Structure 1
C-alpha cells in the first residue's frame, strides 16, 4: 500500500514547512509519523500495511488540527511549544463532538460555506451559463439551502466555472445527483495548502449545491439502524480512544528526539479522561435480525433462486449475445419470467410509488437480476457465515469440488501477517455452490462475448444507463441488491415503521439464530436438508466451526433477550441474575431497551456465569435437542 505525504505546506508567516528555517520542526513531524509503525512504539506486534497506514493517518489528523491553527499557536516561530494542557483538552473536546472524529478535527463545512458565501460571478459569465447550463439556476420552492437562494445560484455558477462539479454517478462516491460538488477537490483548493492529510469526508452534505437529483429510488422505507452509529451522533469511544493513544505517543516521540507537544501539555490527556467517557458511546456490534425476519429472509431467498434464477440468467445472456440495447427485450421470455411479470429491461417510473409497484410486480428484468444477486448473497452469507468483503472477492476459482463435496476457497480477511492473507477451504452446501456456479457462468459468458468483466462473481451487470456498451459488469454492490430484495419481499418493519434492510454482517448470525429458536418455532429441518445433515448435533458442529465465539455469543444473547422480555419461565433464573447484577427489578428489566438487555446477557455469557447451550437426546424421531439456559454460579438450570 503506497501513500505519500506532501510536506510543502504553508505556515502562518507565509513560509513553507519544507523551508530551511523550519527544518527542525519538519524533522520532528517526520519522526513522529515514522514512530507510529516503529517497534519502539508497537513492540513485537506486526501489523499489515493497511493497519500501519491507518495509524499514520491518525497521527496526520492530529498534526493537521494544530496546523490549521498555526496562527494561534505561532507554529512557524515556536513549533508546538505554545500548546497548553487546556489546548489539548480543547482538541479532545472537538474530537468527541461528532461520530466521525476526522470531520470534527478538520470541520470542513465552515471553510466551504464561508468561501461560497463570498464568491462573485460577473454578469457575462452568468448569462452564458444560463444558456449552456440552465439547470444550475433551478431551485425548488422550499428546498433546503445552506446559502441564500440568490447566493446559491451564484455559488453554483462559480463551482461550474472553476471545474468543481463532477457527474453524480462517477467514481466511488456515486450519488443520486446529476452533478455533485467535488468536495475533496474544493477542500484541497481551500485548505489543502495548510494540511498534510487527505481531505475526503463521508456524509458531507451541501444542501442546494448538488445539482438536479434524478430518481434513484434506493429504498422504499427508512432503514432500521444496523448499529448504534445511525441513531447516536456521539463519537465512538473506540475511535476517540485510538486518537488519544496516538496523541499520547508524543511522549515516546520526545524520548526519541522528536519534541512536539510538551509533557506538560500532554497532561491534558489525563485530565480529559472523564470528558471522553461522558461524551462518547460504546461502538455497537451489528444488530441481530428478529427471528421471523431471519426465517422469512432465507426462505424467500432460496425460493426466488430456485424458481427464477436460471431463467433470469439465461435471458440476460441471450440479450448479451444479441448485443442490442436491452430495453426492448428482443428475445423470447421463458414461462418463469412471464409468470414473474417481466416486460421491460429497466424502469422509467417518475415516482417512488410507481417504481416500487413495478418492482414488486417483477416488471423490470434488471431489477429482478438485482433481487437474484441479493438472494444468492443471502443464501451464501446465511449458510457459510462469510464476511461481506470475502463474498465480494469470490471468483470462479473459489468454488472447489472434491469427491462430491463442495468447498469455498477464500482469503481470511482477519487472519493475516502483513499483506499475506491465510487461504483456507470451508465446507459449502450444494445449493450455495450451484448458485455461485450460476454467477460464474455469467462472468465466463460475458468474457467469451468480448464484454468487460473483472471476474468477481458478484459484480453487477450494467444497467445500460449512460453507457456506450450495454453489457458487462462493474464492481459488486450487494447493499443495493439487499435493498432491492428487502423491498421486493417487503421484509418486516419495526415499531417505528422502519424496514429491516438486511446487511451481510447480520446474515452471519441467521443460521445460528434459527438453530437456537428451533425449540419454540421449528424451521431448522429445511436448512438441515440443504446442508445435508442427518442430526441436529451435526448442524450445531457446523455452526460452531463457521461462526466465531463472539458472534455466537451475541446470537445466544439476542435469542435469550426475547424470552426474558416476555417473562418466559425457561429463563427465570437468568432473569433474576441480570436483575441482581445490574440493580434492576423484573418490571424494569422487561421495559429496558432491547439492546441493553442483550448487552447484559452477553456480559454474563462472556464471564461464564450464565450459559446457553443445546442439549441433545434420543427422541421418537431420532436425535432431537432442546436449548438449556443455565446460571452456573447458582448451579441451577432451566430448560428451553
Structure 2
C-alpha cells in the first residue's frame, strides 16, 4: 500500500522508463546487484553493500523491501550524476564529493527509517515538514558524525555496554600487559566528550583492547580504530559503517611518549567556528531531496512536496575564511627561509644524498645505520653545523623502550640546534614552499601537485602548473598554465630538482616525482610523494625552526598557503604606502604598479583582496598610522569606544572591518596617478 505521491497524472503518459538512472561513470556494477563497486578519484574501487540491517530486523535487500531498495539506488545515482546527468562530466574529486554527500543523506534516511515510515511507505511518506526537518538536522553541525551518525552518543553507549562484557581478571591481565593503559592525562580528563564516567576510562580501554578495537605500537601509542568500531556501531548504514570518525583521544594511551607534531598550539587559521553546515554541502543535500521527486517518474513512491524546499535555507554558515598572519611575522619567515637556502640548503640535501646512496649500495635501511657510520658519511661540515643523527624521530636500529623524540621541550631545542638531518631536510622543503608560495600566490593544490621534471619551462623563467578549479566540463583534466617566476624561487626549485635527479642517478629512487616529495620522518628509504599533509608539515617545521610569533594566549602562527596568497596582496598595499614598492616590483617582475594590481586581481579572488586590505588597515590602526584615514578612525571609535586601538584585540578590528566590506558599507580601493616619480598609488578608504 502506497500513499498518494502527487504524480498520479503521469499514469496517463504510458509505461515508466525503468531503465533511467541505472548507470553512471562511477558505477562499475550492474544496477540490480546488491553489492556495488564504485570508483571516482580512488586508485581502487570501493565496495558498497546494500545489505543494510533495518530497524525491524529485516535486510534492505530482502524481497519485502524491494521498492525501498530500488528507490535508494536510483536516488544515489540521481544525487551524484544529476537528474539530467549534469554532473556526469565533473572531475573525479568533485564526483566523489557528490557521491559521499548522497550516501550520507541515504544513511540519514536509513537511520531514521522507523520515524519516517520508509519500510511501510517508501519515500512517499515524507511530507514538507519532514523534508525541512531533515535539512534542519543536516545543517545543525559542520560534522556529519554529529548531525547524521550521533558518533559520541553511539560510542558512549557501546563503551558502557562493554563494561559488562569483561571480567575483572581480564582487566588486570590487560593492565599488566599494558601498564600505560591506566595513565590518563589532565588533557584527556578535561577534553572528555563521551558520556562515560571518568573513573571507568581505564577499564573501558581494557574492554576495547579485549574486543580488538585498538591499533598502534609502543612507540606511536595505541588509538581506537574508528573504522572497525563503526562496523559494529552502524549496521543500519551504507557509508557510515565503512568510514573513519574523529579520534577518541580520551581512550588513547601512550606507552612511550605522548604525541606532538608542533611546539605550540596553533592560532586558528580560519574565521568562525563552522558550528553549522557550510553552504556548499547544504546545497548538495537540498538538491538531492528536491530531485527525489524524480522517483515518481520511475514508478516509485516519492515525496510530493519537494517544491516547498527549493528556496529553503535554515541557519547555515558561510565557508570559513582564512585569517591573515601579521605581516611582520611573515616577512621574518620569508627572510629566514631565503637565508637558510643560501647558507645551508645545498649541504643539507647533499648530506641526505650521501646517506641514502650509502644505504642503497649496502642494502641497509637508513634507520638501521649506526650513528658513528652516519656521522662519517655526512662529513665534517654538517657535524660542525650540529647534525648528530639521521632523525630526531626516526626508528632506532635496536629495540628500546626509551622515547625516540623525548619531551616536547627537548625535541624542539634539538631541532633548532640542527641535531636531526631528516628534520633539516623538512625545514628546507618548507623554506622552498614558503618562498614559492609567497612569490607565486598559487592555490595549495597547484603547488602540492607540481612535478619536478616539468614545473619550469625551458627558459626557467615561468612556473608551469595544473590550474586548480579548471576541470568542469573537461572530463576531470586540469588546464596547464604558466606564470612568471622570480629568479630566487627558480634557484630554490632547481636545488630540489638537482636533489631528485641525483637520487635517481644513484638508484635511491626509481623515478623523479613530485617537487615537494619528502623523506619519511621515520627514516625509511626513498621519498614519499607530496600530500597536503606533508606540505603543511613542512610549513610547520619552518614556523617552529624560525620561531614564528607566539600570541599572548600561547599559540603560534603556523602559516598555510592560502594565508601566503593573501600576504602577496597585503604586500601590495604595504610596499606602496611604506615606500618599498620597488621590492614588490622586483619580486613580481613588473615595472608598473598598476600592472602589479592587475596581476593581483587575476591571481586572487575579490574576497582575498578585501581581506588583504582589511589586514593592512588593521595593522595601521595597531601601529597608530591612521592620520590619513579620518573616516576609518571614526568608524573604529564608534564601534570600540576608544581612539587607542592598540588596546583592542586586532582580530576584532579585522573581523569588524571585513564585515563592513562584505556588506558593502565601506570599500578599499587603489587610486593610480602620475607624479614626478612616474606611476604612483594611494589606498582609499571609502564609506558608502
Q: Same fold (TM over 0.5)?
A: yes
C-alpha distance 292-331 of structure 1, shift in aligned 2 (>3 A): same
Secondary structure class of the residue paired with 1:570: coil
Deviations 1:430-476 (A, max 9, x none): 222221222223323333343357711212212345xxx44543544
Distance 2:642 2:659 in 1: 15
Equivalent residue, structure 2, for 1:289? 325
The answer to whether the Cα contact below 8 Å between 1:415 and 1:421 also exists between their aligned partners in 2 is yes
Instruction: Pick which of 141-150 and 233-242 moved more.
Output: 141-150
2:407 to 311, 332, 351: 351
1:568 matched to which residue of 2?
A: 626
Write out per-residue CA displacement over residues 108-134 of structure 1, whole angstroms, 9 at most, x where no aligned residue.
222222122222235675566456x42
Pair 1:234–1:72, CA change in 2 (3 A): closer
How many residues are matched? Answer: 606
Match of 1:344, SS state, is coil
For residue 27 of structure 1, report the CA deviation from its aligned partner: 1.6
* Structure-2 separation of matches of 1:586 and 1:180: 47
- Residue 200 in structure 1 maps to residue 249 in structure 2: no
The corresponding residue for 1:138 is: 182
Give the CA deviation at 1:388.
1.7
- Distance in 1 between the 2:609 and 2:106 partners? 41
Alignment correspondent of 1:514: 571
Q: CA deviation at 1:82?
A: 4.3
Q: Provide, for residues 407-440 of structure 1, a one-character-per-residue CA deviation record: whole Å limited to 9, x for no partner.
A: 2221112111231111122222222222122222
Query: Compared with structure 1, are the counterparts of its residues 525 and 361 closer, same or farther at alpha carbon in structure 2 (3 Å cutoff)?
Result: farther
- Structural mapping, 1:381-396, within 5 Å: 381-396=437-452
Report the alpha carbon displacement of residue 308 of structure 1 after superposing the two structures with TM: 1.1
Contact 1:412 1:421 in 2 (8 A): yes
Change (3 A) 1:109 1:318: same
Q: Does 2:514 align with 1:456? A: yes
Q: Does 1:431 align with 2:491?
A: no
Alignment partner for residue 441 of structure 1, among 478, 488, 498? 498
Shift of 1:599: 3.1
| Mapping of residues 146-545 of structure 1, within 5 Å | 146=194, 147-148=196-197, 151-167=200-216, 177-197=220-240, 199-201=242-244, 203-212=246-255, 214-229=257-272, 231=273, 233-254=275-296, 257-263=299-305, 267=308, 269=309, 273=313, 276-277=314-315, 280-323=316-359, 325=369, 327-328=371-372, 329-331=374-376, 337=382, 340-347=385-392, 348-403=404-459, 405-416=460-471, 417-452=474-509, 455-464=513-522, 469-473=524-528, 475-476=530-531, 477-533=534-590, 536-537=593-594, 539-545=596-602
Match in the other structure for 2:16: none
CA distance in 2, matches of 1:627, 1:327: 59
Aligned equivalent of 2:98, options 55, 74, 85: 55
Q: 8 Å contact 1:237–1:283 — kept in the other structure? A: yes
Query: In structure 2, what is the Cα distance between the partners aligned to 1:336 and 1:555?
Result: 43
Distance of 1:399 and 1:474 partners within structure 2: 15
The alpha-carbon distance between structure 1 residues 338 and 110, as it changes in their structure 2 partners (threshold 3 A), is same
Question: 1:518 Cα shift?
Answer: 1.4
Tell me the TM-score normalized by structure 2. Answer: 0.78
Match of 2:148, SS state, is helix
In the alignment, is the contact (CA less than 8 A) between 1:152 and 1:209 conserved in 2? no
Indicate how the Cα distance of structure 1 residues 232 and 420 shifts in structure 2: closer, same or farther if over 3 A, else same.
closer
- 1:85-140, CA deviations, whole angstroms, 9 ceiling, x for partnerless residues? 55444434433332224532111222222122222235675566456x42464323
Higher strand share: 1
Shift of residue 562, structure 1, vs aligned partner: 3.7
SS for the counterpart of 1:79 is helix
- Change in Cα spacing, 1:544 to 1:196, as seen in structure 2 (3 Å) is closer
Which residue of 586, 594, 613 maps to 1:556? 613
What corresponds to 2:8 in structure 1?
none
Contact 1:610–1:630 (CA under 8 A) maintained in structure 2: yes
Report Cα offsets for 1:183-229 as digits up to 9, x if no partner: 01211122135444564355343412455473443122221111125
Instruction: Indicate the larger mover: 331-340 or 361-370.
Output: 331-340
Which runs of 5 or more structure 1 residues have no equivalent in the other structure? 170-175, 634-640
Aligned match of 1:628? 683
8 Å contact kept, 2:446–2:466: yes
1:76-155 residue pairs with structure 2 within 5 A?
Answer: 76-83=119-126, 85-119=128-162, 120-122=165-167, 129=174, 133-135=177-179, 137-140=181-184, 143-144=188-189, 146=194, 147-148=196-197, 151-155=200-204
What SS is found at the alignment partner of 2:514? coil
Alignment correspondent of 1:612: 669
SS of corresponding position for 1:281: coil
Instruction: Indicate the SS of the match to 1:610.
Output: strand
Q: CA deviation at 1:232?
A: 5.1
Match of 2:118 among 62, 69, 75: 75
Distance 1:326 1:408 in 2: 41
Q: Distance in 2 between matches of 1:234 and 1:213?
A: 38
Please state whether the residue corresponding to 2:462 is helix, strand or coil. strand
Residues 563, 46 of structure 1: alpha-carbon distance in 2 compared, 3 angstrom cutoff: farther
CA contact (8 A) 1:411 1:422 kept: yes
Contact 2:457 2:464 in 1 (8 A): no
- In structure 2, the CA distance between the partners of 1:538 and 1:196, relative to structure 1 (3 Å rule), is closer
**What is the rounded CA distance, in whole Å, between the counterparts of 1:435 and 1:628 in structure 2?**
34
Corresponding residue SS for 2:250: coil
CA distance in 2, matches of 1:631, 1:123: 72
SS in 1 for 2:64: helix
Aligned residues of 1:129 and 1:157 also touching (Cα < 8 A): yes
- CA 1:198–1:575 in structure 2 vs 1: closer, same or farther (change >3 Å)? farther
SS in 2 for 1:76: helix
SS in 1 for 2:629: helix
Give the conservation status (yes or no) of the 8 Å contact 2:430–2:539.
Answer: yes
